[in-house]
Amino acid sequence: SYRIEDEYCLKDIINNLNYKQPQVVKAVKNLSQEGYFNKRRNE
């Protein structure tokens, strides 16, 4: 359940940023597509 909540939290953050910082959102999405956050979490 932690992971699911974590994903929802990340999506909420991305949605909130989307109104203010589209460039940041693009960077975050690119990182998440590359599995950056999963790698960091597993370290």
Does 26 or 43 have the greater pLDDT score? 26
pLDDT confidence of residue 2: 61
Q: Could you report the per-residue pLDDT of 3-42, keeping only the tens digit for each?
A: 777 777 888 877 777 666 677 778 878 888 877 767 766 7
Please give the tally of structural domains in the chain.
1
Query: What are the CA-CA distances from residue 26 to residues 3, 20, 36, 43 (Å)?
Result: 22, 12, 14, 24
* Residue 31 CA, distance from chain mean position: 8
